[in-house]
Structure 1
Amino acid sequence: MIKLITTDQLKPGMHIHDLNCGWLDHPFLTNAFHVRDMATVDKIVKLGIREVYIDTVKGADVWQARSASEVSAELDRRLQEIAEKKSDRPIEVDVKDEAARARRLQGEANKIVRNMMDDVRLGQQIQVERVEPLVEGIVDSIFRNQDALLPLNRLKNHDDYTFQHSVSVCALLVAFGRGMKLDKAVIRELALGGLLHDVGKARIPDRILNKPGKLSDDEFDHMQHHVDEGVALLRESGGVSDIALQVTAQHHERFDGSGYPGGLVGAGVSLYGQMASIVDVYDAITSERVYHKGMAPTQALKKLLEWSSHHFDPKLVQAFIRSIGIYPSGSLVMLESKRLGVVLEQNEGNLLEPVIRVFYHTGQKHYIPPEIIDLSKFQVDRVASFESYEKWNIDPQLWLPG
């Protein structure tokens, strides 16, 4: 049986089924392994990991611990409660009218961030004024209709992950800030911070940054220095607001003090740093890498909700979930009718009833004529589960808007 235990219950002889943290948050070769000594336990605790899943068939048990299925059921219940609270995101244009513009914007953003990182590697300063028009374009697109740009976050490739991740974090922070009803001027600075938050990685050697496997302990420590490097680069460039600096400096801090580089606790992490840490983890764990399978968006939201008992402010996690939806746009879902579809838009009155384009029948195992269904109006079908594109061998680019 798979059970969830606290790390102070972890002992040699147990078998870890899942380290229960983001894949960038630990240097172990895999997420699952046999615990052979207390040194391994101490290393896990030192990383700030508070809970892990163990396999009681392969190792020692903790009899009173909750099963993974019990934990999952509780998280589903909490997601349901969040979904029932109305979200307010005014839509200025239809998603199909914004889709082509969003695709062009994303392509431009990836090129600009790539060029900026290349310039930093060559010893040049960041020219903030060159990225400000791009940030303005992303903010405006999200405000017109975020369901056009946010799904494109899923379209990453392995080689350009660092650049594409920065663009995704930027867009997600805009949606998050809008959901929090922050002032638009503040949201622009949040977006700029999101776009620049990983710029320090330009000073990390390629052999570490692009290593096709897990990092050694020394490499892991070296990688963590990208935060301080990024802050130094932004201070050198000048013209960067405190908000953008906080996003860069604190996106790896955690609410319980287990983050880095400062080990800041609670309110010691700014609101903008806390928002950035939530968004950064969400995009990282939903992204495909050579040595890491991305989670389905809804599963990632459940993880954020689970980790909000320690690493994140629960109220902020709930606000983030409401800002992008229980089934975020671009997600693949299965309906009770056994049809697969991609989520196109959210319904603000009920986040469990999005607008979906169905195109495949899993029972009959064949494609069907595409049909757009608004589940808030089509009462005879409901979402049964979230799915992965990889499992069904489906190319998301074929079904996203635009």
Structure 2
Amino acid sequence: MSKNNFIPVNTPLLDGNELKYVTECITTGWISSEGPFVDKFESALAQYTDRRHGIAVANGTAALDIAFSAIGLKKGDEVILPSHTIISCILQIIRIGAIPILVDSELKTWNMDVDEIESKITSKTKAILAVHLYGLPCRIDKIIEIADKHNLYVIEDAAQMIGQTFNGKPCGSFGHISTTSFYPNKQVTTGEGGMCLTNDDDLANKCRSFRNLCFQTESRFVHKELGWNYRMTNIQAALGLAQVEKLDEHVVLKRKIGNKYSELLKDISGFNLPLMETEYAKNIYWVYGIFLNENSKYNAKEAMLLLQEAGIATRPFYYPMHLQPVFQEDKLFEGQEYPNAEILYNRAFYIPSGVGFTENDVEAVSKVLIDLFKV
């Protein structure tokens, strides 16, 4: 396959009111965070996720930073989260001086193993970060049950799962604060962007303050707390509103792509396909993951390199937190083992599946995989 036919790992779909709304921003001059589309976008996604408040921010990492500060996370507090996740989840915990407490993952769903959580709770535990990964939500019901029992905060990282449900209830609606991302590979994209979602008035006000440098209403330039300039622009929000209008269609497309892959790849013995569903959710296929099994001729790095040579982009699964060089230097997780997180990194990766992906693209990628893994 030539470079001209290279298939990227993600292709966004911008075929709704995106151009119309962005043009309105430009023609009216409202391009900053003060523009009207910010409120419209916040209201639309809050309504979609059954939340009272949406607070749009610059990106998904910013949403996590703000959420941890809003719940009052302090130095010495502990936060439970999976080792197998993106580094954004841990950054503000570390910077505050709080302590990340890791749990391992399930090999079937690729999500955090909730059965490990309760044994990690101490008198210092402040919160659980519930991270939904790849296409199926984590067991958020059990996480909330544990958190309620121990009087802990729950932050739901729904970055990959907007449009998904857990037992019929929308992801993004669970816990004290939910966070999301609008990077181009998400079901809703603003290029860069994120949002905090909550039903709590006090937490919502804190999130709004932290995203806007903690300006005060009465004395704007007198600051009692330190915040960030994490505001979203009106242009980004205009894109986001148009994307929310098409969200249900994007979810249908994601599932269509995932189901087509599963149909075409079902007879390959070298890897396991994503679960199509569990008792609490049907896979939304945020990405289509390939989990190499004992019959595989390759590890993840080898397979990804061969696919790249064939003109197909891939991405690895996350590198485990306990192995990150930046944390090993400080001996943060010294002596800790999370074997499933390591297995997922070494044996799993994902293939192209953006909402702008076509059936021909699915067939082209599948053909290469079938040829690559044929006995």
Structure with the largest fraction of helix: 1
TM class by smaller structure = under 0.3
Whose RCO is larger (CA < 8 A, sep 6+)?
A: 2
